[in-house]
């Protein structure tokens, strides 16, 4: 049901059962999937692609022009998967010529006042708590949770199943399965509670913990630790996921307990 006092461009592609509340603006070159609810006073700008059964709360701005001086008006998108909730006053910029799109996955929750800058990639089941601020080109893998008022430096990558404490400043990559806290941000153990809630066995949790003992607790530099892990620890999907993440990190990973590299 489209409210007559909403401002909807005639070229916007909106599924029949989408609800658009009063005083919202939907610009041209927008696609909104079935079952999605657009609350009042929402602005959805050119290039937005919103999936099925999403909820967008008042004050949100989706697919805004990137806050990047290199942007020259190229046609780009901001794409949101199915069943994702965008709470009050969230801002999501569309992409630039670098990637041409900003991506938000399915089954995500972006709480109030979150900002997602241009060319970010947020995968499925991610939670960004209130006032999380992502600079451009940030990647967040599946099932990560980022605590409120956290700020993330551009080009940082956050691994799958990570839990990050509120109020953090993230300048380096955060490898998968860990809990991160303190300032400067550092390793605070593995996210064992979250992993068990998602069906990881005790054996797998212990194997992940053993991998991180070599990376953070035995005084080795990261490349030496990876060599030992490859040679001495049994192969598993989780072990290889950690190795691949760290080996491919361009910014380097966060520090350990003592701030050692």
Q: Does pLDDT of 4 surpass 80?
A: no
Mean pLDDT for all residues in the chain: 95
Do 142 and 123 contact (CB within 8 A), yes or no?
yes
Return the closest-CA partner of residue 243 out of 261, 258, 225, 260.
Answer: 225
Three-state secondary structure readout of the chain: CECCCCEECCCCEECCCCEECCCCEECCCCEECCCCEECCCCEECCCEEECCCCEECCCCEEEECCCCCCCCCCCCEEEECCCCEECCCCEEECCCCCCCEEEECCCCEECCCCEECCCCEECCCCEECCCCEECCCCEECCCCEECCCCEECCCCEECCCCEECCCCEECCEECCCEEEECCCCEEEEECHHHHHHCCCCHHHHHHHHHHHHHHHHCCCCHHHHHHHHHHHCCCCHHHHHHHHHHHCCCCCECECCCCCC
Question: Is residue 134's pLDDT more than 60?
Answer: yes
Q: How large is the average pLDDT for residues 238-244?
A: 98
Token pair recorded at residue 140: 């967040």
Round to the nearest angstrom and report the end-to-end CA distance of the chain.
Answer: 56
For residues 151 and 99, give the distance between their C-alpha atoms in angstroms, rounded to a whole number.
22
pTM: 0.95
pLDDT above 90: percentage of residues in the chain: 92
Question: What is the mean predicted confidence (pLDDT) over 113-135?
Answer: 98
Residues 6+ positions from 201 with CB-CB distance below 8 Å: none
Residue pair 13/33 in contact (Cβ under 8 Å)? The answer is no
Residue 261's pLDDT is 38
Active site residues: 118-119, 136
User: What tokens does 83 get?
Assistant: 């069943």
Q: What confidence tier does 259 reach under pLDDT thresholds 50, 70, 90?
A: very low
What does the alpha-carbon distance between residue 173 and residue 51 come to, in Å, rounded to a whole number?
29
In Å, how far from its chain's centre is CA 21? 27
More confident residue, 28 or 98: 28
pLDDT at residue 2 above 60?
Answer: no
How does residue 260 score in pLDDT terms, banded at 50, 70 and 90? very low
28-40: average pLDDT? 97
């Amino acid at each position: 049901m489209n409210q007559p006092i909403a401002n909807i461009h005639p070229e916007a592609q909106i599924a029949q059962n989408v609800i658009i509340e009063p005083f919202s603006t939907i610009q041209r070159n927008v696609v909104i999937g079935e079952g999605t609810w657009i609350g009042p006073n929402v602005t959805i700008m050119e290039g937005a692609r919103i999936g099925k059964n999403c909820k967008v709360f008042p004050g949100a701005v989706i697919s805004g022009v990137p806050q990047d001086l290199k942007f020259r008006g190229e046609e780009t998108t901001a794409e949101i998967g199915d069943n994702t909730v965008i709470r009050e006053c969230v801002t999501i910029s569309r992409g630039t010529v670098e990637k041409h799109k900003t991506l938000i996955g399915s089954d995500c929750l972006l709480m109030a006042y979150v900002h997602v800058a241009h060319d970010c990639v947020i995968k499925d089941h991610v939670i960004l708590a209130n006032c999380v601020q992502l600079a451009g080109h940030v990647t967040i893998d599946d099932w990560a949770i980022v605590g409120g008022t956290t700020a993330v430096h551009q080009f940082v990558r956050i691994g799958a199943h990570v839990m990050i404490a509120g109020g953090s400043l993230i300048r380096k990559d955060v490898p998968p399965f860990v809990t991160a806290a303190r300032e400067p941000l550092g390793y605070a153990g593995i996210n064992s509670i979250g992993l068990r809630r998602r069906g990881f066995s005790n054996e797998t949790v212990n194997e992940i913990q053993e991998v991180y003992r070599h990376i953070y607790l035995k005084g080795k530099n990261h490349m030496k630790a990876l060599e030992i892990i490859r040679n001495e620890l049994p192969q598993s999907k989780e072990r290889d996921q950690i190795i691949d993440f760290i080996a491919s990190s361009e910014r380097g990973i966060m520090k350990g307990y003592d701030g050692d590299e």
